[in-house]
A and B are shown apart, each in its own frame.
Chain A
Amino acid sequence: MPKNAHLVLCVDDEVVGLRVRKILLERAGYEVLTAADGYAGLELFAAQPVEAVVLDYAMPGMHGGEVAKKMRQAKPNVPILLLSAYVGLPEEVSSLVDVYMTKGEGAPALLEKLGNLFSLRGASHLR
């Protein structure tokens, strides 16, 4: 595992899905933190130097939109990728996040979009 690996936070109430995603992202060279709901996610987000968030939408207690809003208030520069099983989320939710994609688009799509987030960040840093 490379030393300069990015730290990614995954929030999802689907236990199996979260576990598989963690393995997938670790194989792709990321360092991964997981949370089973929005509250746990926000705690980790505040405590750890998270560089990107992969966020599920439908979760008990607090849905992805609310979680994203709170994260933006805390650290506005951390990119958020909203991952949802639903299609057609409200505009006010999708406009909050950097990337919005539906579950089932496949692992390559997820890795590509997550990678893009970092390269864009990097590019903007260089400028």
Chain B
Amino acid sequence: MELKRFQRTLRQAMILPVLACLMLAGVLVWQTHESDTTVGLIERSDQRIALARLIETLVVDEETGLRGYQVTSDPRFLQPYNVAEPRMEQAIAQLRSIAGPTETDLLDRFVKEHQTWHQSFAEPLIAMIAAGGRASDDDINLTGRARMDSMRNLLAQVVSISEQRSAERSAEFRRQTRRVLTALVVLAGIIGLVIGLFTRDRLQDVSVAFRRSIELQRSRAEELFQSEQHLRTTLASIGDGVISCDANAKVELMNPIAQELTGWLESQARGRRIEEVFRIVNETTRQPLENPVTKVQRLNRVVGMGNHTVLIRKDGSELSIDDSASPIRNEAGELSGVVMVFRDITMERRTRAALLANEKLAVAGRLAATIAHEIHNPLDSVANLLYLLQHDPEDGEAKHFLDIAQSELARVTQISRAMLSLYRESKAPVPVDLKDMLDDLLLLMEGRFNSLGVSATSDLPSGIVVDGFPAELRQVFTNLITNAAEAAAQGGTVLVRIIPQHASLSPSGQRIEEGAIVEIIDNGPGIPQEVQDHLFQPFFTTKGERGTGLGLWVSQGIIRKHAGIIHLFSNTEGSIRGTTASVFLASKPIMEPGGD
């Protein structure tokens, strides 16, 4: 539930009871007003009764006064009568002002009766008495009495009616009060119920929202926990060492592999400078290397792995490693830490070295049969010549036999020397005469060409010398020439040539160094495009069991080490079909130690 809705609910929950109370108050006010009216009406009835009684008293006073005067003829007895007269008029006026229609009717009749009584009985009687007459006539008296009774009767009716009204109104008032009470109770009950239901509904909303938000929080916390666990497990099960540092290059976290490789426990390393935990030096120079973390701080970008890095572990032992480091950035894009990944490549290096040695042996093995053939042939001739010399040679023949034997032995020596130089390793680059080297190789492989039925030609200008490792270069060219011979097959040709290169600029503006391109060209079937893509991959071979699949891969490594370039151009179409292997070697290359 958003805050706005929550506030609206709160407002609603407050306003409804206030409105309900106001409504109740309105009902009360209205009912009080009604009661007031009723009470006023009751009071007026009582007033009417009182006035009717007063009028009755005044009538009695008049009659009493008149009677006294009639008996005594003393005008003093007439005083109550005289006093009553104006008061009665006043009282009648008052009563009339508050009387209902029935009472007014009765009152009119009373007034008429009273007037009649007054004019036709009292006044004449008074006048008669005043005139000294006697007024003891029974008839007159009876008439007066009848009138008086009538008047009293009328007044009694007024009183009775008023009393009845008063009683009705009292009853009405009581009923009203009861009604109001009932209405108030019912209304209060209804309002209470409505407020209760409404509030409950609103509170339920709020509580649902509250519960939901709690659940959301809980599930988020759970998700966060899960995701952190996930990351931790990932980190722990990663096969590479991972160290993460804060922005000050202090170690924060190390996974198990990192602890194993560095020899530092995470608990020991945490908070220490990375250089202390992760000490690296160059494999050959032994110079300390810039720490990847510091490098990331300096360059603020991902730093790749350096070649020939040695990690010095906590106990002083060493490991060859590959390392790389990446910056960790916060939301504002500022560097908040660095994560470094590294792995032990000692085994990888050994495997690579073993593969290289294996390939070198494979080249040797491939040549061994050829070499045996090359040596056995002259040896066979020499053995036969020696036999002939032992068994009485004819005149002059001996010298001839010796000459042949000598030249055959020279051939053996040459071959064995060429073979030896193929395997002799030099520590530093030495000048290599390309013509000499290639001539040697072609001589060694003559038999191979013969047995394959391939004719080899060469165009090798003399005096072209490059710096390099001769044994390795021999390995490369042995590979390339063997490949060419096998591709050319029966009746094919192989051309080996050297094209000297002078220092210049290529059409694309690149500097071309001084050196030479050695091309080995065969007129075999060519290499299909899909095969060409894999030529320099290790263990890729088209020769089945006869090949190791390492020849070109190793050759490429060697040429790269010599800062040279190796290319294969091939065509499978008609008359121009065939393959050209092209190797550029610089006269004074800057050796790349990582090339092998």
Name A's B-contacting residues (CB within 8 A).
13-14, 16-17, 19-21, 23-24, 27, 58-61, 63, 83, 85-87, 102-108, 110
Contacts and interface: CB of A to CB of B under 8 A. Distances in A.
Contacts of B383: 104-107
B296 to A, nearest CB: 60
Contact of A103 (B376, B388, B490): B376
B376 A27 contact: no
A55 to B, nearest CB: 14
B391 interface: yes
Nearest to B394: A27
A110 B380 CA distance: 11
Contacts of A14: 377, 381
Given A16-B404, A104-B383, A27 B451 contact: no
B32 interface: no
Interface centre among B369, B387, B453 (most CB of A within 10 A): B387
A21 B376 CA distance: 14
A21 B391 CA distance: 14
Given A16-B408, A63-B451, A86-B372, A104 B380 contact: yes
A59 B377 CA distance: 12
Contacts of A102: 376
Contacts of B453: 60-61
B391 A87 contact: no
B384 interface: yes
Contacts of A60: 450-451, 453
A36 B369 CA distance: 22
* 10 closest A-B pairs by CB: A107-B387, A85-B376, A103-B380, A85-B373, A103-B376, A104-B379, A58-B451, A17-B381, A60-B450, A20-B384
B527 interface: no
Contacts of B450: 13, 58-60
Contacts of B451: 58-60, 63
7 contacts: A16-B378, A16-B407, A59-B451, A85-B376, A86-B372, A103-B380, A107-B386
A14 B379 CA distance: 12
A21 B384 CA distance: 7
Contacts of A107: 383-384, 386-388
A24 B387 CA distance: 8
Given A24-B387, A60-B450, A16 B376 contact: no
Contacts of A16: 378, 381, 404, 407-408
Contacts of B404: 16, 19-20
Nearest to B400: A23
Interface of B: 369, 372-381, 383-388, 391, 401, 404, 407-408, 447, 450-451, 453, 490
Nearest to A14: B377
Nearest to B411: A16
A107 to B, nearest CB: 3
Contacts of B387: 24, 106-108
Interface centre among B372, B373, B380, B490 (most CB of A within 10 A): B380
Given A58-B373, A86-B376, A107-B384, 17 more contacts: A13-B450, A16-B378, A16-B407, A17-B380, A17-B384, A20-B384, A27-B391, A59-B451, A60-B451, A61-B453, A61-B490, A85-B372, A85-B375, A87-B372, A102-B376, A103-B377, A107-B388
A85 B377 contact: yes
Contacts of B375: 85
A13 B490 CA distance: 16
A87 B370 CA distance: 11
Contacts of B490: 61
Nearest to B387: A107
Nearest to A59: B450
A58 B388 CA distance: 25
Nearest to A63: B451
A110 B381 CA distance: 12
A19 B405 CA distance: 12
Nearest to A108: B387
A15 to B, nearest CB: 10
Nearest to B397: A23
B379 A103 contact: yes
Nearest to B369: A86
A60 B451 CA distance: 5
Interface centre among B374, B384, B404, B450 (most CB of A within 10 A): B384
B411 to A, nearest CB: 9
Nearest to B448: A58
Contacts of B447: 58, 85
A24 B377 contact: no
B13 to A, nearest CB: 104
A41 B306 CA distance: 64
A20 B381 CA distance: 6
A108 B390 CA distance: 12
A60 B491 CA distance: 9
A85 to B, nearest CB: 4
Contacts of A108: 387
Contacts of A106: 383, 387
Nearest to A103: B380
Interface centre among A86, A87, A104, A110 (most CB of B within 10 A): A104
A61 B492 CA distance: 11
A103 B380 CA distance: 5
A103 B407 CA distance: 18
A21 B401 CA distance: 12
Contacts of A63: 451
A105 B382 CA distance: 11
Contact of A20 (B369, B376, B385, B391): B385
Contacts of B384: 17, 20-21, 23-24, 107, 110
A20 B388 contact: yes
A13 B447 CA distance: 10
Contacts of B401: 20
B442 to A, nearest CB: 15
B528 to A, nearest CB: 28
B388 A27 contact: yes
Nearest to B449: A60
A87 B368 CA distance: 11
A19 B387 CA distance: 14
